[in-house]
Structure 1
Amino acid sequence: MRRAPTVLHLDMDAFYAAVEQATKPSLRGKPVVVGGLGPRGVVATASYEARVFGVHSAMPTAQARRLCPNAAYLNPRFGLYRRVSEVVMGLLRELSPLVEPLSLDEAFVDLEAGDTGPPAGEWSAADARAVGERLRRDIRTATGLSGSVGLAGSKMLAKVASEQAKPDGLVMVPPGTERALLAPMPVRTLPGVGPATGQTLRRAGITTVGEAAEAGEAELVRLLGRAHGAALHLMALGVDERPVVAERDAKSVSVEDTFDVDLTDRTRIHAEIARLADRCVERLRGAGRSGRTVVVKVRNYDFTTLTRSETLRGPTDDPAVVREAAARLIEGVDTTAGVRLLGVGVSGLVGFAQEDLFAQTAALAPNGEGTAAPDAARPPGPTSPSEAAPAAGETVGHRLPPGRDVRHARYGPGWVQGSGLGRVTVRFEGPGTPPGRVRTFALDDPELELSEPLLPWEGTSGGRSDGQRSEPAIRPKDMFSSDTGAPVSDVSRP
């Protein structure tokens, strides 16, 4: 444990919803819910205005609509969130080379490993607080968003502190006060205490961190086993020696989709598996990795879930290989009763593709010589349907989830508020404009096309109300004296 609170934990406030509010002026100060919008959709993030009504992440979207029917419900734009995250993570890397990203909006930083303050071992609480406050100011200046900061002598306490700091605050845990802070908190606050462990402890009469500490190591070992019980006892005493690790090496890459209606048609299931395999390979290549084990995940109509895997002779990032392996795996699964969810993943990752002729799929020519399938035959695999890159001049067609970015030849950039019955409603505004006007068009209007999203710091100078875009009022490169750093790794959605 450290003598100064030099472990920093940053957690951006309602990140996805906050980005949407920053880029859509008409939603600022209003409830916003980001997530899946279908009958089986789940909330990814809710703005603080929506949380007042009881909406929270991981809640079924249908339940959220009942609690807060007047909120704006938007499909996530993960490409945009990643671009904003790169700027935030770049600011963290300016503080220290030891930055441990947990997700797009959350990370630990070891301040003593950087050169923004005193030498290691000479930091004071005041030094750490000054760095934390400066970071919060820099994030707001660079992105227009707010983040909450926790400072402590360990990762566990820094995360607890940032949770207490929400929203838009800073909480510091001075060394020596850890046990007093933790004692009244629920035992689920401790890392490694999930539903099953929590239930075991509750049956033993242990519901708070203080009660876990008083129970003693021997009792916790009896209840949970030696390794888990001993580690939990140390955590309950406020002791956490885990270091900040700069690179968290991913063990697998995967994608999955939940369907609004259970799938029973085998042709459709095979088509979905092929599409998921292409998306998985695109994500795999984006991370500069390859893998040797292909995994297929199937969740049936009754929520029973099974996985099937096949290990290749060597690692690959060839989409044809992953597609064929996934097709073989799904062929052995009975899907006649209906499939609720499908997923494709690749594990056993390495940093390069070690091609193995016998592990690769090839189309055999008449003379018996193998010819590799060209990449051009592979259909593009967007991260999500709402993120597919628009083709030049592509009209909106039917790809119109609420929140989708569009551009009109006369009215400029805007976003879809809703569509149906052959019509689409668009609000024309951007990050730097006042709340914009709403207009309705035919779905096949040739002047309306899909467009790339604007970043929160992009917008129209002069506050034009017609939605026409001019040069960004602030350019990202104006804000930094050095590069913002490499993108963070792709992660599971919250």
Structure 2
Amino acid sequence: MRREASILHVDLDAMFAAVEQRDKPSLRGKPVIVGGVAGRGVVSTASYEARAFGAHSAMPMAQARRRCPPNTAFLSPRFPAYQKTSAVVMELLAGVSPLVEQVSIDEAYIDLAPTGTDLSVPAVTALALRLKADIAAATGGVTGSIGAASSKLLAKIGSDLHKPDGLTIVPPGDELLVLHPLPVRRLGGVGPATEQRLHRSGIRTVGDLAAASLEDLVDWFGTAHGHGLFRLARADDPRPVVSSREAKSVSAEETFDIDVRDPARLTHELDLLSARVAGRLRRSGLTGRTVNIKVRHPDFTTVTRAVTRDQPTDDGALIAQLARRLLTEVPTAGGIRLLGVGVSTLYDFAQDDLFSAAGEDPPPFSFPEDPAPTPPSAAPPSAAPSFAAPSFAPPAPTPSRVATSQPPSGRPLDAEPVSPGSSAAGPVVPGSAPSTGSASPASVPHPDSSEQPSDDAASVSASPDGGAGPLRARPAAGSDPPGAPSTAGPGSMGSAPVTGIPPVGSAPATGAGPLAATGAGLQGSTSATGAGPVESPPAVGAGRPGSSSTAGFATSAVATGQAFASSSADGPGAAVPSGAGPVAAVPSGAGPVAVVPPSGVAAVSPVPVWRSGQDVRHDEHGPGWVQGSGIGRVTVRFEGPLTPVGRVRTFFVDDPQLHPADPPDWSDPGPSSSP
């Protein structure tokens, strides 16, 4: 253990929500939740105003909606905005010390020892206070909490003790005085299962854990985990701050909208996930010996299984074969909520690239509606230090079509604008929602972050390939009669015919009935409605004269990511066979959806779809963000980081003057919002 508090842990406070409140003045001081926005989406980040109602990360979105008041803003994530803010902070930290270890988009360790500066407690306190002020100034008001201690373990715990905007210094020699009164859950490596086992043995605080014998801990948790807990309870954490972190595993997982019980469907999903993992391995020049699966049941219990080979591989077929074998060891009759495949024990060696990489996209976000209770009071931030001793080309401008209570040409329109909490993003295809998969950063036997329920919404982490997910084409229920033959030719990895569960690599076959294209960041459906029942609701704007819904042909899609549904971030997308149903292509930033009609069907105009929180620009009114959309209209609030609270205007979803936009620059005042 070091003799000085020379390790800092910097953790940005509720970063995603803080960035949203910075860029959207109307949301400041109000509850904001960022994350999945439909079906089984989960909370990625809750603002401190929302946390006062009990909302927190990894909570199902439906539960968060029940707890939070009606004025809560539920927003889809804007990863480019968060990444831009993170880059500014990491650049600041690099100016403090050459040893900066970024562990996620919003947190990092700093080792002050190589700087040669004064490492006394007063000097470290002054440095940390200056750093906090610099972070807030450089990011436009996003705050960070800092812990300073003699080890990474205590520094991380310190940064969490007085959030938000807090500072905790753990003086050398006082580590156990700070650590032992804390609940055992504060230790890295103590998740819900470990916590419950310790509680059954009467161990509730870290001090209780320190009193347990090594023999008991090894007996309860095994050699590695038992020794790790024994050391952590004594503040024994010699891990250094390292400036680079290598991936220890490559994984992909998927959360289903409806619990899956069909063994054939589960096998098909394993094949798709294995192909995604194999593609990431090859692009990263890695192979691995250990294949593992993760299965989460409807009651949120999670089971993992793993098998290790003699030789490493990046072969998707072999990974799928091993994953299938592992799945037979897990009970699935009660249904599966989440399924994941991973490869670990990695080697810096790549086999010949005999297979094209599977395309990958970011995760989707969608949400349901629920009532909300009366709010409790929120705790105010504390900034005082605490000493812990005890694109696409837009169309040419045309006159703006602002939606009013008397729409032109008899177009129906609701009089009230759509709110952030009630955005009707579009139909949700039953059966599945793509999820995150990424390379896990390096870890040690006693990591500094505790086990957490897997965020089925997007999580941002260091990934060899940037964390993209595959283009997925899924059948919609009732689209073809049972046993109907597939008429489509070969397509991209991940597509599936309308009936049955085909082998990996087959393409969707539609000529009648809906086809749901759900790449990451996209949930939607395109359907030829002239034959067979359509299970999903009509498209946004369907039935309105001039919309892109025509007789026998309706389209809808929800863009919730930053990828094209028709092409992956790494290569060409799925080919659309002759006679297949239309496939939605979603431009970066989510905007108008280009629809490719089936053979013999007249081309239709692009269908714009907008997601809550999305950055937009209007030719007449300037920059703003989508407050909500649905029923053929979109409500936009025109404001930015440095403007007053802006006014709200409602337009038809296909207004040619409304375009997707890049995140606003909080350092540039720019033009003021339109009155």
- Give the TM interval when normalised to the shorter protein: 0.7 to 0.9
Does the C-alpha gap of structure 1 residues 351 and 222 become closer, same or farther in structure 2, counting only changes over 3 Å?
Answer: closer
Residue by residue, what CA displacement relative to the aligned partner does 1:92-140 show, whole Å, maximum 9, x if unpaired? 2222232222211112111113x3x42xxx6222222222122212211
Q: How has the CA–CA distance of structure 1 residues 219 and 162 changed in structure 2, closer, same or farther, with 3 Å as cutoff?
A: same
* Residue of structure 2 in register with 1:420 after alignment: 630
SS of the counterpart of 1:163?
helix
Between 335-344 and 184-193, report the one with greater CA deviation: 335-344
1:66-95: per-residue Cα shift (whole Å, max 9, x none)?
111321001122232222212212222222
TM-score, normalised relative to structure 2: 0.56
The Cα shift of 1:191 comes to: 2.5
2:39 corresponds in structure 1 to: 39
1:114-171 Cα distance to aligned partner (Å, 9 max, x none)? x3x42xxx62222222221222122112112100000001111111111113110211
Counterpart CA distance in 2 for 1:312 and 1:196 is 31
CA distance in 2, matches of 1:252, 1:175: 35
Whether contact under 8 Å (1:79, 1:387) holds in the other structure is no
CA contact (8 A) 2:294 2:340 kept: yes
CA deviation vs aligned residue, 1:44-68 (integer Å, no higher than 9, x gap): 1110111111111111111111111
Relative to 1, partners in 2 of residues 1:311 and 1:79: Cα closer, same or farther, differing over 3 Å?
farther
Which residue type is aligned with residue 450 of structure 1? P
> Offset of 1:348 from its aligned partner?
5.9
Match of 2:68 in 1: 68
Distance 1:136 1:81 in 2: 18
The alpha carbon displacement at 1:449 in A equals 2.3
Distance of 1:226 and 1:209 partners within structure 2: 19
Does residue 130 (structure 1) correspond to residue 267 (structure 2)? The answer is: no
Alignment partner, residue 521 of structure 2: 384
2:456 matched to 1:460? no
Report the alpha carbon displacement of residue 453 of structure 1 after superposing the two structures with TM. Answer: 2.1
Partners of 2:7 and 2:155 within 8 A in 1: yes
1:220 and 1:230 in contact (8 A); partners too:
yes
One-letter amino acid matched to 1:453: P
Count of residue pairs brought into register by the alignment = 442
- Identify which of 193, 209, 214 aligns with 1:212: 209
**2:485 paired residue number:** none
Paired with 2:145 and 2:32, the residues of 1 have a C-alpha distance of 20
Structure with the larger helix share: 1
Q: Work out whether residues 395 and 446 of structure 1, in 8 Å CA contact, stay in contact via their aligned partners in 2.
A: no
Q: Aligned partners of 2:181 and 2:244: how far apart in 1?
A: 34
SS in 2 for 1:128: helix
Tell me the alpha carbon deviations over residues 300-321 of structure 1, each in whole angstroms, 9 at most, x when there is no partner: 77878677999999866xxxx7
Corresponding letter in the other structure for 1:401? R
Q: Return the alpha-carbon distance in structure 2 between the equivalents of residues 220 and 164 of structure 1.
A: 27
Within the candidate set 583, 592, 609, 1:395 is matched to 592
Q: Residue 201 of structure 1: SS of its match in structure 2?
A: helix
TM-score, length of structure 1 as denominator length: 0.75
Cα distance in 2 for partners of 1:328, 1:8 equals: 42
Equivalence for 1:79 = 80
Q: What's the CA shift for 1:7?
A: 0.8
Q: What CA distance in whole angstroms lies between the structure 2 residues aligned with 1:445 and 1:310?
A: 56
1:442 — aligned with what? 652
Q: What residue in structure 1 maps to residue 371 of structure 2?
A: none
Aligned counterparts of 1:444 and 1:323: Cα–Cα separation in 2: 44
Aligned match of 1:157: 154
**Identity among equivalent pairs (%):** 50
CA distance in 1, matches of 2:642, 2:227: 54
Q: Is the 8 A contact 1:296 1:326 kept in 2?
A: no
> Is structure 2 residue 230 aligned with structure 1 residue 56?
no
Q: Who is 2:189 aligned against?
A: 192
2: distance between equivalents of 1:137 and 1:310? 49
Q: 2: CA distance between counterparts of 1:226 and 1:171?
A: 33
Task: Give the partner amino acid of 1:43.
Answer: V
Give the conservation status (yes or no) of the 8 Å contact 1:315–1:350: no
CA gap of 1:107–1:348, structure 2 versus 1, over 3 A, is same
Q: Which moved more, 1:292-301 or 1:247-256?
A: 292-301
Contact 1:300 1:338 in 2 (8 A): yes
Letter in 1 for 2:183: P
Distance in 1, matches of 2:121 and 2:350, equals: 47
Question: 1:324 and 1:177, CA in 2 relative to 1: closer, same or farther beyond 3 A?
Answer: closer
Q: Do the aligned residues in 2 keep the contact of 1:5 with 1:173 (CA within 8 Å)?
A: yes
Q: Please list, as runs of the form range in 1=range in 2, the aligned pairs for 1:206-355 lying within 5 A after superposition.
A: 206-217=203-214, 220-221=217-218, 223-225=220-222, 227-261=224-258, 288-291=284-287, 340-341=337-338, 343=340, 349=346, 353-355=350-352
The question of whether the paired residues in 1 share the 8 Å contact of 2:154 and 2:175 is answered with yes
Unmatched tracts of structure 1, length 5 or more: 362-372, 468-494
User: For residues 409-449 of structure 1, what are the alpha-carbon distances to aligned partners after superposition, in whole Å with 9 as ceiling and x for unaligned?
Assistant: 22222221111111111112222222111111112222222
* More moved, 55-64 vs 270-279: 270-279
Given that 1:108 and 1:244 are in contact with CA atoms closer than 8 Å, whether structure 2 keeps it comes out as yes
Query: 2:138 aligns to what?
Result: 142
Question: Is 1:411 aligned to residue 621 of structure 2?
Answer: yes
251-260 or 92-101, larger mean C-alpha shift: 251-260
Q: Identify which range, 91-100 or 392-401, moves more after superposition.
A: 392-401
Residue range with higher mean Cα deviation, 322-331 or 83-92: 322-331
Distance (whole Å) between structure 1 residues aligned to residue 239 and residue 226 of structure 2 = 17
